[in-house]
Structure 1
Amino acid sequence: MTGVSLMDGVSGLSYGAAGPQDLGADECGRLAVLIDERLHSAGAEGELETVVVTGARHQLVLRVLPGCGDPLLLAVALERERANLALVLRHLDLYPAQEAA
């Protein structure tokens, strides 16, 4: 992992970050909202769960964590040569967020 950030999924307000790579909390939040809006306009039902963006050297995983109020967005940046994307996605799915009652 080269960076991780936890942010408000709507406003992009960062609650915390670690690692040398700045993930741009505001940009990640806008990207997740844009993708979610486009999916709904295309007829998709339900809420956005995970977005994976891959590049030649890096990968970005955005995971929506629903809860009370605005959802949280977890952004994880990975070095493509050193990370196992499937394992990262599996570990993120081991701890599903609990929906608010």
Structure 2
Amino acid sequence: MSLADAVTGLSYGAAGAQRLDADDCGRLAVLIDERLHAAGAEGELETVVVTGARHQLVMHLLPGYGDPLLLTVALERERANLALVLRHLSRYPAQEAA
């Protein structure tokens, strides 16, 4: 798991056996967001899920009062419940700046 500034790529921390490079995850999220907008998608990117044979990668933007944070989690497909993870992530609503 890693937490990083979604704009600058500055890593705030990482934990777990699978160390994720916050900068690489941030660049991937920006690339996906740019390509979606180029294809005509509107609105903000919220969550990206990449699935593989053994792992699932979940990248979730946490908007707030400054730059959004990018929370990235690598899940073992056999042990994780992706639906439950996505449900828990949806509990963090966007905070409006005062």
Letter in structure 1 aligned against 2:6: G
**Structure 1 runs of 4+ with >3 Å offset:** none
For residues 1-101 of structure 1, what are the structure 2 equivalents within 5 Å? 4-101=1-98
Normalised TM-score (structure 2): 0.93
TM-score norm. by structure 1 comes to: 0.91
In 2, Cα distance between equivalents of 1:14 and 1:79: 23
SS in 1 for 2:48: strand
Identity of aligned residues (%): 84
Separation in 1, partners of 2:36, 2:97: 23
Unaligned stretches of 5+ residues in structure 2: none
Unaligned 5+ runs, structure 1? none
Measured after TM superposition, the shift of residue 95 of structure 1 is 2.3
Root-mean-square deviation over aligned CA pairs = 1.0
Matched residue SS, 1:31: helix
